[in-house]
Each structure stands twice: as structure tokens, then as C-alpha cells.
Structure 1
Amino acid sequence: MLWALTAVLLLAAIAVAATLGRSAWQAQRVADDRDTALAAGRQIAVNFVTMNAATFDADTKRVLAASTGSFQKEYAATIAQLRPVVTANKTVSTVERAEASLVSGDDDSARVIVGVVAPTTNAATPKAEKKTYRLRLDLVKVGDSWKVSSLDFVS
């Protein structure tokens, strides 16, 4: 009888430990997904604002590689119009600072707000002017990576 009671208590303890372990694992997975989405949103915003006449193709390819859906189509369509402007003006925009915050998120989508300070020069303004942007990015999980599906400037 004592043996049976010990076995039942042991099985109950194992069941409780397994349940708690699974809950902790799921909570950690959600936290990791949010951290990954936040980091992806921040990097995509940095890539979007970074522009250099000398590296235009590489700059735009980075943005396209991290995009999907309608945003990818719209961005791809604007590259042909943007290239001559950036090249003729010898535009250089780098990111000095980027701060990001996760607005919302779930397993396969997230909304991120990113504030960016971008010193920018061009042929008419050789001394860098610091431009400040606030961007709202909607991200979707595609496979194992987060991609931007919508990007808007917000005030």
C-alpha cells in the first residue's frame, strides 16, 4: 500500500513538473520571438534609412531581402525612380542611432516603432544634417525570419 501511494505521488510530481516545464518553455519561446521581431524591425528600419549613392544597389537589395508582400512590390517599383535622384545628388544617409519598441506581436506577426537619427549629406549639403525619422513597421514571420510587410513614417 505504501509503495502504491509513493508511486502515485511520484507520478503526480512528474506530471506537475512537466506541465510547469512546458509553460516555462512556451513563455521563453514567446519572449525569444518578440526579441527577434524587435531586432529585425530595428535592423530593417536602419537598412531602409541607410542610403549611399556609391552602394545604392547593395543598400536596396538589403531592404528587398527583408521585405515581403505589398511593401516589397512598392519598394521594388520605386527603386528605378529613386536611383537617379540618389546618384545625381550624391546622397549619403547613415544611421547614428536607432531605438525600437515592440507595439504588439504574436507567433507570426509584429508591429514595431523605430526612431532613427540619420546624418545625411548630398551635393547641395556637404555638411551632414541630422534627420530624425519615426517608422512603424508591420512584420510577418516567413519561415524562420521576420520580414517587413508594411512601413510607414509616423509623427
Structure 2
Amino acid sequence: MTEDLATPPRTARRFLTVLAVVLALACLLVLGAKAFVPGVLPSSWTAADDAADRDTEITTTARRMMSDFVNLDYNDIDADTKRVLGYATGKFKTDYSNDLVELTALTRQRRAVSTGDVLKVGIGQVDEKTAIVSVAVDTKVTNTTTEAAKKAGKGPGYQELGYMFKLTMNHVGDRWLIADLEVIR
């Protein structure tokens, strides 16, 4: 019996077939594990990406909350303050809640409207649970006093104010909330 040298023996062909199948299965297992078990293979997602996502979440929350905080209208004061409380926790929530009756009464009595823009948000210190954030805002306030001054020819009918706030934010559940608010200037 003469074997053709170009054709491998039957056992060699079987071995190569089994080897190819085993290698294909191994590749599928590794790729499948990567899809379901993070960290099995090197990834382009890094701790820096996690930190960037966290920082974006913090600055977005701070910007939204401070916008709600400085944009108040006596006609919608209940809804406005409810939005602010939606971002509140800890000391800030307690203090704001305690001052709410007086804030609401004064806002309505003086027919106050405050419109504002968040100019800048900067993160000072941050870890997984707490962030210290600075927020700069400009506001324009109209009320019975500014309107009276305008009628008397003693002012434009509004008051422009700039503020710098220091926020302490806590990670609660899956959200960043304002735990303390301090007026810096």
C-alpha cells in the first residue's frame, strides 16, 4: 500500500481537525467570557473613563440644581421649590425645608421673580461618595421694591447679582445630591 506524501495520514487529518475545532471553541469561550465577565481581556474602558463619567454626572447635577435654585417665580414658587428639594439631601434638605414657608411667603408678598444663569461649575475635591463643587451664577431679580424704584425713576426695575456657591454633594443611591450649600460671595 503506497501512501501519497501530499496527503497526510488519516490520524494526522483527524488530529488537525480536532485541534482546529478546539481552538475555535477556545476563541469563542474567551470572547463570550469577555462579553459577560468584565476584566477577562484588556479593555479600552479605564478608571479614568469612570472618573470622567462621575465628574460629568456631578457637574450636570450641580448645574441643573443651581439653575433651579436661582430661577424662582412667585407665580410658580411651589413647583420651583419642589424641584430644588428633588436635588437635596442632608443638611441642605433640612435647612431648605425649614425655610420654605418663609421663602414662599416672602416671594409671593414681594412678587419676586429671579432669573439666573449658571456661568461655571468646577469640581474641587471628589471621591466615590462626596464632591466639593464651586458654582458661579448671575441673577436678575425683580420685585415690588425694584418696580417701585423704577416708577420713581431711581433704577432699572431689576437688580443684577452675581454669586459664588460652594456645594457639598453626596452620592446617594445612583444619584448625586446637594448635602450642603454655602454662599461664598
- TM-score of the superposed pair, with normalisation by structure 2: 0.70
Deviation at 1:84, TM superposition (A): 1.3
Secondary structure at the aligned position of 2:76 is classed as helix
The 2-side partners of 1:138 and 1:150 are apart by 5
Aligned-partner Cα distance in 2 for 1:112–1:137:
5
Q: Deviations over 1:88-128 (max 9, x none)?
A: 10000011343111111111211110010011100111322
User: Are 1:134 and 2:155 an aligned pair?
Assistant: no
Residue 60 (structure 1) aligned to one of 81, 84, 102: 81
**Equivalent pair of 1:101/1:114 in contact (CA under 8 Å):** yes
What is the deviation of 1:82?
Answer: 1.2
Q: Does 1:106 align with 2:139?
A: no
* CA distance in 2 between partners of 1:42 and 1:109 (Å): 16
8 Å contact kept, 2:66–2:118: no
Q: Which residue of 2 aligns with 1:28?
A: 49
- Asked if 1:153 corresponds to 2:153, the answer is no
User: Over aligned residue pairs, what C-alpha RMSD do you find?
Assistant: 2.4
Counting aligned pairs with the same residue, the percent is 27
Report which of the two structures shows the higher radius of gyration computed on alpha carbons.
2
Output the TM-score relative to the length of structure 1.
Answer: 0.83
Structure 2 unaligned regions, length at least 5: 1-39, 148-156
Equivalent residue number for residue 42 of structure 1: 63
**Partner residue of 1:18?**
41
Question: Map of 1:2-13 to 2, 5 A cutoff?
Answer: none
Query: Unaligned regions of 5+ residues in structure 1, if any?
Result: 1-16
SS of alignment partner, residue 96 of structure 1? strand
Q: CA deviation at 1:26?
A: 2.2
2:118 paired with 1:88: no
Higher RCO (Cα < 8 Å, 6 or more apart): 1
Runs of 4+ in 1 over 4 A off after TM superposition: none
CA contact (8 A) 1:67 1:148 kept: yes
Kept in 1: contact 2:166–2:184 (CA 8 A) = yes
**Match of 1:95, SS?**
strand
Using the alignment, how far apart are the partners of 1:141 and 1:77 within structure 2?
Answer: 23
Residue correspondences, number: 143
